[in-house]
Chains A and B, each alone.
Chain A
Amino acid sequence: MTLDARHIVFDNVSKFYGEVLGVNKVNFSLEPGITSLVGPNGSGKTTLMNLLTGLIKPSHGAIYVLGLTPQQPVEFFRQVGYCTQFDSFPPGTNGYDFIYWPLRLHGFGHNQARKLTNEALERAGMAPVAQRKVAGYSKGMRQRIRLAQAIAHHPSVLVLDEPLNGLDPMARAESIALFEAIAKQGMHVIISSHILEEVDRISDCVVLMSSGYVVAEGQIKEVRREVRDHPMQILVRCSNAAKLASAAFELDHVVEAKILADGQSVLVRTRDAEQFSLLLNKIVSSGLVEVDAVAPADDDVNSIYQYLIGSDGGPA
């Protein structure tokens, strides 16, 4: 793979902690936009982010962020902001100092650093409590002050490890809007999260991880194509679920037909959605069953994730 000033490149990256596998043979290239890392605890998401930002070093392979590596920290960390999952802070610090002093280390003068600090505090909604000690913050506030620090120097690459953890719905919505706004400016935003619905909605690209391996990577629809050998799920709401399920079972390509708890819906897993649609048309025109709604049940990250690794992708 080549050094690229726009992309984030993982070139055959592996990380082992002694005998324990962190991530193995990771190869991908990310374009600007929002990329989500999805996987259960221990799947290697944080390891991948720590490798990306140089907190740990790869056992094999190389990582390039906009053509730079963490071995060039002065140039690298002007471009990269990382909001880690570590919920710890320098003792005795307040919210303002927590952002101001790292900016001074970037080389900004007092006035510039003050301006950037205030701007970051405003963007993260932390300005009113900036002078309070971080030790007295709630979990959500600590999450937001870390986010403020990560975005304060206007990085081109923003890496966020579980950034929505501990946030109330309002703060979560505001954070997501902030990520989208940053991505629209042509920046990279890399997010790991267990909240799949939200990740699904805002992501331009997903990287699915399991046990240290990248099991799929690309746009959601591309990832879906990668797993087209797996049966597709279709949810049908109808007047007679039992009759529909029994008719579906007669088709060879239907793997499963499950009547859901409401008694009005059938979840069908089929290898040939087109043939199943024809069956539905036939049933409806014969008047045996009235169909209220038909919807694909698996065009989101969560269901793709189920296909891929046999788990719901929720917190382990």
Chain B
Amino acid sequence: MSIQESVARAQSTLKEQPWRLFASQISILVRNEVRRNLFTRRRIWVYLLALIPVIIILIHYFLDKNTSASQLEEDSFVLAGIVQLYYLRLGIFFACMGIFTWLFRGEMVERTLHYQFLVPVRKEVLVVGKFLAGAIISIALFETAVLACFFLTYSRLGSTGRSYVFDGPGLSQLGSYFLVTALACVGFGAMFLALSLLFKNPIVPGAMLMGWEAVSPIFPAWAQRLSVTFYLKHLCPVKLPVDGPMAIFTIVAEPVSPFIAIFGLLCLTVAILVLSCFLIHRLEVTYTAE
């Protein structure tokens, strides 16, 4: 088949099967973005954000030899605190800020965004492809980190820990931590992707978002539903015994079912992605303005 025939044939196929084209474009975009952004020196600080608790628990693993039942309870609270107060509030938040804002804004800085805009790819497909790539990167990093934290926490306790994991609530808690981590990456990721399309420098709006996520529990219930952590708190398997001002990060004022929490967060994410699809149409490639 000649090249001209190949071109004509490919073009007619694409006209007839646009959804197949969109799916193939998304998979190519995801592949290229993951290759480009997962293992890179620019992401070292993100790896550190994910690994800091792992390193601390590893040190604890070697230094603390107490393996009693009371230690099991204490370690479970420590792990819950790491996930709820560190990963959800800081680690994943800042990592998503770095990963998702870089998806478009980074290409502006590197002056390569025009390559994405000069191919026959709908802007909406580009947003979805990049978002999925960011989600895969962040979920892979933080799920690995949470798994490592979980393994180190309970393996240190020997048979007590094994029994807690395999005969007790351990595995179900691990599943919940995985779910919460993935939803946090998806929810914060969508927010930062939209912010990067709204603002040239998303640091200030990012700080405002962090403030909102922290203080949203004191707002009316309808307003709390616009916060990612509102949904995540309902899915955390271990309730932290936190008193004082820190309780604002863990308190659940109006409990909702896990199904509503998951569905609500996914709806919020989709709504923000739809907004991003509108915003991307406003984006112009003017590198001199960056």
B36 at the interface (CB under 8 A from A): yes
Most B CB atoms within 10 A — which of A74, A107, A112, A153? Answer: A107
A-facing residues in B110-157 (Cβ within 8 Å): 110-112, 114-115, 117-123
Binds B, one of A88-96, A166-174, A220-228: A88-96
B171 to chain A, nearest CB (A): 40
B22-40 vs A, Cβ < 8 Å mask (1 yes, 0 no): 0011001100100010001
A-chain residues with CB within 8 Å of residue B24 when the two chains form the complex: 104, 107
Known contacts A108-B6, A109-B10; A77 and B29 CB within 8 A of each other: no
Decide if B285 touches A55 in the complex (CB within 8 Å).
yes
State whether A54 touches B117 (Cβ < 8 A). yes
Given known A-B contacts A74-B14, A77-B119, A112-B6, A88 and B25 have beta carbons under 8 A apart = no
Q: Is A154 a contact partner of B120 (Cβ separation < 8 A)?
A: no
Q: Which residues of B contact A77 (CB under 8 A)?
A: 118-121
* B residues 1-49 touching A (CB-CB < 8 Å): 3-4, 6-7, 10-11, 13-14, 18, 21, 24-25, 28-29, 32, 36, 40
Q: Given the known A-B contacts A73-B121, A78-B120, A154-B7, are A55 and B114 also in contact in the complex, defined by CB atoms under 8 Å?
A: yes
* B: number of interface residues (CB 8 Å): 34
Q: Is A10 an interface residue (CB 8 A)?
A: no
User: Min CB distance, B105 to chain A, in Å?
Assistant: 15
Chain A residue contacts of B199, Cβ below 8 A: none
Contact A89 B112 (CB under 8 A): yes
Tell me, yes or no, whether B263 is within 8 Å of chain A by CB: no
- 15 sampled A-B residue pairs with Cβ under 8 A: A55-B117, A73-B120, A73-B121, A74-B14, A74-B120, A77-B121, A86-B111, A90-B36, A90-B115, A91-B36, A102-B115, A102-B118, A105-B28, A106-B10, A107-B11
12 extra interface residue pairs, beta carbon distance < 8 Å, beyond A90-B112, A108-B10: A17-B289, A74-B14, A77-B120, A82-B114, A86-B111, A88-B110, A92-B36, A102-B118, A102-B119, A105-B25, A107-B13, A109-B10
Residues of B within 8 A of A (CB): 3-4, 6-7, 10-11, 13-14, 18, 21, 24-25, 28-29, 32, 36, 40, 110-112, 114-115, 117-123, 284-287, 289
Chain A interface residues toward B at CB < 8 A: 17, 50, 53-57, 73-78, 80, 82, 84, 86, 88-92, 101-102, 104-109, 112, 115-116, 119, 153-154
